[in-house]
Amino acid sequence: MSELALDPALDPALDFVSCPDPNGTHRMAYWSWGESSASHVVVCVHGLTRQGRDFDLLARSLVASAKKANLPAIRVVCPDVVGRGQSEWLKDPMAYHFAQYAGDMAVLLQSLHAKQAIEHLDWVGTSMGGVIGMLLAAQPLPTPIRRLVLNDIGPVVSWASILNMKNYVGQVGRFQSLQDAANAMWEISKSFGPHTPEEWLALSKHMVRTLEDGALTLHYDPAIGVPVRAVTQEKAQAGEAALWQVYDLIACPTLLIHGALSELLSLSAVQDMQQRGPRAQVATIQGVGHAPTLTHEDQIDIVRRFLGLHA
């Protein structure tokens, strides 16, 4: 990857789009890689407490792979979902929900399409980002999603996984160094699978922000934990039923990347996803739970090949 990093075209650009919400508007940040004139756009959306820079290695590789294979240029767009990273926070904690997130992404797509017509649109979504992708893939867009990658997510989220989220989401902490923050995040992220200390530090550096006194804290609104803690088992079951209805409407080719050790997505749910709706292809990552980080070459190659970005 060091050679790719020398190419200035592969540095991310930061931009913002204004999105409506129940209390007015907010700015959503997005990072983009590759040429802004590209008509093939790949949108990558992160998990619940993460942010768009999680996809640095994947984005850089996809842009470089298209170039190497003499394919039309692509642009990879990685939003910071509202309340995370460089995006603004919502005034009402209960407004942190999937309808708001999907609406924000629709505004982003409209904005991108207005500046440069999108002819091909692909979506890579990790966990929460995959749910947003399902919602958008099931509805008409100016440019429909061509290929959908769901990274360890489906209509079914185990209740045990939700209970675990209730314990840590919103606990943003206070740290004296990036290494301290990385260590704390690793304690709740070991299911991401093996990473070297250097790899984990690279994944952690965009996950913190500096407080006025110089200490560090996690780079998201602690209030996103409020709606998570409000979820009951009955609400979770109702949400699951609604998401299955959405999933059954998806018609585009769909790839499910499944962490073999995932607590969130069961093997029976994976099997159902192979038989319903878009009948997802499945790529299982051994030794990894929820969720693969898509930073290792074998995982990147799975995405690259599904999107047709290889020689």
pLDDT digits (tens, 9 = 90+) for 260-278: 999 999 999 999 999 999 9
Range from 3-12, 136-145, 146-155 that averages highest in pLDDT: 146-155
Is there a domain that residue 103 lies in?
Answer: yes
Is there a domain that residue 198 lies in?
Answer: no
106 prior amide bond cis, ω within 30? no
Is there a domain that residue 256 lies in?
Answer: yes
Regarding predicted confidence, which is higher, 77 or 142? 77
Nearest to 256 by CA among 157, 125, 120, 156: 125
Residue 19 has pLDDT above 60, yes or no: yes
Q: Which residues on neighbouring strands pair with residue 20, listed in sequence order?
A: 25
- 192-222, pLDDT tens digit by residue? 999 999 999 999 999 999 999 999 999 999 9
**E strands of 196-286, at which residues?**
208-210, 216-218, 254-259, 281-285
Is there a domain that residue 43 lies in?
Answer: yes
Is there a domain that residue 179 lies in?
Answer: no
Show the CA angle centred on residue 241, arms to residues 239 and 242, nearest 5°: 65
Which H/E stretch holds residue 288? none
Task: Output the pLDDT for position 228.
Answer: 97
Q: The domain that contains 122 carries what CATH number?
A: 3.40.50.1820
Q: Which residues on neighbouring strands pair with residue 210, listed in sequence order?
A: 216
For residue 310, name the pLDDT band (cuts at 50, 70, 90). confident
For residue 8, name the pLDDT band (cuts at 50, 70, 90). very low
Is there a domain that residue 50 lies in?
Answer: yes
Is there a domain that residue 62 lies in?
Answer: yes
- 93-118, pLDDT tens digit by residue? 999 999 999 999 999 999 999 999 99
Residue numbers of the domain that contains 110: 2-170+220-306
| 192, 196, 197, 199: CA torsion to nearest 10 | -70
- For residues 18 and 74, the answer to whether their CB atoms sit within 8 Å is no
| 267, 273, 276, 279: CA torsion to nearest 10 | -120
Domain count of the chain?
A: 1
Residue 9 has pLDDT above 80, yes or no: no
Q: Sort 134 into a burial class: Cβ within 10 Å, 0-12 / 13-18 / 19+.
A: buried
> Rounded to an integer, what distance in angstroms lies between the CA atom of residue 301 and that of residue 303?
5
Cα–chain-centroid distance for residue 138? 18
Residue 7 has pLDDT above 80, yes or no: no
- For residues 153 and 258, the answer to whether their CB atoms sit within 8 Å is no
> Rounded to an integer, what distance in angstroms lies between the CA atom of residue 264 and that of residue 152?
8
Task: Output the pLDDT for position 2.
Answer: 37
Is there a domain that residue 260 lies in?
Answer: yes
> Rounded to an integer, what distance in angstroms lies between the CA atom of residue 213 and that of residue 231?
35
